[in-house]
Structure 1
Amino acid sequence: MAKKKRQKKQSFMPQLPPEIITDILLRLPVELLLRLRFVCKAWESLITSHHFVQMHLNHAIDDDKRNNRHTVILSSYNSVKLLRSGASNGKVVNVKFPLKNPKGFKVVGCCNGLLCVVLYDDAIFLWNPSTGDYKKLPVPSSVESPGQEKFGLGYQDLLGLGYDSSIDDYKVVKLRCKARAEIPMGTTTADIYMLKSDSWKKTQVLSYNVYFDFKPEHENFLNGALYCRSEKNGVLYWKVIDFNFNDAVLRFDIRDEKLTMVYPPHDVGVAHGRIFRLGVFGGSLCVVQNHQERGVEIWALKEDGDVKFSWSKLVSIPRMEKMRPNWFLAPICFTKNGGEVLMSVRRKEKYDSFSRQKKFYLYKQDEKATFKEFLIHYTSYCLWKEEITFIESLVSPNGVGTER
């Protein structure tokens, strides 16, 4: 009797084709997919497969183009929070950092759901905050005596994380950059970590006489890189100062492993009385400039190969009446099909104040040009806080979804 009931119950459960199941799962968030792995072995095998991880990532990137990206709120005291770009109520999701480090950490790269994190003992990690997976990277052979790379002692390493689509692998790039303008610069050696082989290699890149501009109000990841994914391949960008004390951008092609330099639009930069920083909007590198009188302007970089570069203005944001003299706005991303711009408020002091809250604005691009304010609250005081756009993914630094 019980057997007949089980058979009758099973008869009401339709057997969906595998392609339909896959299509449904691709639309689900990472958090739910992590639980669905335990439904059956077939689903676990599917969800952790390389093909599915890549398809899910591509689906998330398509959603990003429709302005459904997340924003990661970072601080130097082991605090990571997720905020949906359209969440104007200020509610955030706390993400637990997997390692305990009393001196904190800093994020120096972000790519396809992975963060490149450096602890204050110089240990480098790859971490997926959506899945909790992390991996400690081996020490590069070029690491010299302790303390030689710190600020004030001459040099600073520029780090970044990117994806090489030609070999389906993730790379961590480490470049030596001067921390002071008066120090001579010789040939540049780039250390490149390859995730699949779990090893570092050295490559010679074209040397530029530049130095790192350590001004917190100008930087995005302090000494980290912005990653842009284009149809051709991924590119890393760092903001630097050239030998004539002009603002410039170092550009590193992930696939070709070539270093070039790009200059911002004319009359953009600190030398012209404006605060100049980098951002990523719609997959393109952007220059964001704050002007005391005119407000904020966002310029997008258009690339034609590795030689021709041009800039086009995306949006102009008027200065708010309530803006204080020591404030400037840091745009994060577009929301609602580009109709709104999410921005955080920064201050020009060395640190962004010892406060337990972060102020944000949603700027609506209409005839009224309205600003909507909301706050993000922290559980402890933070010296500095950073916001980056982030795509949740199943990509793991430990090989799940990666062919080896």
Structure 2
Amino acid sequence: MASFPDDILTEIFLRLSIRASGRSRCVCKSWKSFLTKPPFIKVYLERSIKLHKFDLFKYDLDNFSIVHICYSHENQLLDLNISFIEDDEKFKLVGSHNGIVCLSTFDCKNPHRSKIFLWNPSTSENIALPQPIFHVSNLVGFGFNPISGHLDDFIVVNLNIYFEQRPNYTSLVDMYSFRRNCWKQLGNIFPPSLIQHSGNQVIFKNFICWCSCFHLDHGTVTSLILFDVVNDVFREIALLDMMPLEEKHISSLDGWLSLITHNSSTRQCEVWIMKEFGARESWTKLYSFELFTGSIVRYWPVGFVYYREVFFVKSTQVRSLFESPNYLVLYSLQNDKFEALEVEVDSYCITRLVTCVESLISPSSTISVER
């Protein structure tokens, strides 16, 4: 096969699974060289984005953090090995891009024990990032620079907040570049609205996106918070007044930045998309559906999977609080029905879902792939 043209070898190796590709590197030096070259890594990633997407579902149960992998066409949750994180460490699933996943641990009693990991679940490779200038915080963002020309130009933002006397605070923000393998201090640039509630994040273009929700005397205020990983600045965009006031879940749907929210006045779930990224007035309600069927039951959105199916955490209200047990359910917009997955979770607040792809990008070394 060493005499085959590169385009023929590419077509052959593209048809291998990620595990078979890894084993093939051990056959001979020429295969290893070909399979680790940037052009093949790029082509493999492009194919995976079209054909080999999957979802990672993270939740806590009995105070232990667990990650499952979900192939959407099967609707089954399979365990993943995360032995690189100590058994007693709880962690957050921060985000994913180009097959690389960011995880963070946080020890409130000893913050300097906290760590940030980059992990390729397809190849099982992982690394712990060097400690930031300040200790790892409870709020970490994961992004990607799409204009640099490199498929592994990953960015991690570490956000430490120190309250002097509420509402006064000081923020210490530092940013890690995977390609430079170093942290850079950005200073006190943190928007105060993000302190109240950040929830999950979405990577969209060169922005890390959160939907912040906070409560003032005159009512609930929500806004979109964006961190530009190219220019190292935060940006805040107010949401439309016509949107429901309840807390919103930020996600991605069919290439659009989207929000899932509960409208208590109509007892419906609404899905909104931002048709022109960054333009407040471009928010459009895509559809709504009745979901909250009882006064003691609440469905909390976790995110979209496959073709407009939504993971929810189902909670039951006891007295005035929503308490355990909480269960994961899958709602099909097409069939207007629930599928119970018999997965119990501690809380919807720390339940996360991210979409990932099979990738040969290594978290242990940088590559130089031009787009």
Superposition TM-score, scaled by structure 1 size: 0.74
Pick the aligned partner of 1:344 from 285, 309, 312.
312
Q: Tell me what 2:106 maps to.
A: 120
Richer in strand (by share): 2
Pick the aligned partner of 2:274 from 297, 301, 309.
301
Q: Tell me what 1:40 maps to.
A: 28
SS at match of 1:73: strand
1:340-380 C-alpha deviation (Å, 9 max, x unpaired): 4233234387887246x53222221xxxx5314141547xx
In the TM superposition, 1:85-104 aligns within 5 A as 85-88=72-75, 91-97=76-82, 98-104=84-90
Whether 1:172 and 2:156 are equivalent positions in the alignment is yes
- How far apart are 1:29 and its partner, in Å? 3.7
Pick the aligned partner of 1:140 from 132, 138, 143.
132
Give the structure with higher Rg (CA). 1
Q: Tell me how large the CA RMSD over aligned residues is.
A: 3.3
The percentage of counterpart residues that share the same residue type is 22
Report the Cα distance in structure 1 between the residues aligned to 2:316 and 2:230, rounded to whole angstroms.
37
Report the Cα distance in structure 1 between the residues aligned to 2:330 and 2:6, rounded to whole angstroms.
44
Equivalent residue letter for 2:196: D
Q: Evaluate the alpha carbon distance shift between residue 243 and residue 29 of structure 1 in structure 2; reply closer, same or farther with a 3 A threshold.
A: same
Indicate conservation of the 8 Å contact 1:73/1:386, yes or no: yes
Whether 1:73 and 2:57 are equivalent positions in the alignment is yes
Number of residue pairs matched by the alignment:
347
Pick the aligned partner of 1:60 from 31, 48, 56.
48
Equivalent residue letter for 1:326: V
- Consecutive unaligned residues of structure 1, counting only runs of 5 or more, are 1-12, 144-148, 150-155
Q: Evaluate the alpha carbon distance shift between residue 100 and residue 176 of structure 1 in structure 2; reply closer, same or farther with a 3 A threshold.
A: closer
Superposition TM-score, scaled by structure 2 size: 0.80
Indicate conservation of the 8 Å contact 2:55/2:305, yes or no: no
1:146-182 C-alpha deviation (Å, 9 max, x unpaired): xxx8xxxxxx653111111333221111234578993
Report the Cα distance in structure 1 between the residues aligned to 2:255 and 2:119, rounded to whole angstroms.
22
Indicate conservation of the 8 Å contact 2:315/2:325, yes or no: no
Indicate conservation of the 8 Å contact 2:222/2:247, yes or no: no
Report the Cα distance in structure 1 between the residues aligned to 2:43 and 2:365, rounded to whole angstroms.
16
Indicate conservation of the 8 Å contact 2:173/2:190, yes or no: no
1:202-225 C-alpha deviation (Å, 9 max, x unpaired): 2257553324335xxx833xxxx3
Report the Cα distance in structure 1 between the residues aligned to 2:316 and 2:15, rounded to whole angstroms.
42
Report the Cα distance in structure 2 between the residues aligned to 1:116 and 1:27, rounded to whole angstroms.
27
1:12-45 C-alpha deviation (Å, 9 max, x unpaired): x997532022134335442332233233322222
Pick the aligned partner of 2:195 from 204, 212, 217.
212
Indicate conservation of the 8 Å contact 2:302/2:353, yes or no: no
Equivalent residue letter for 1:389: T
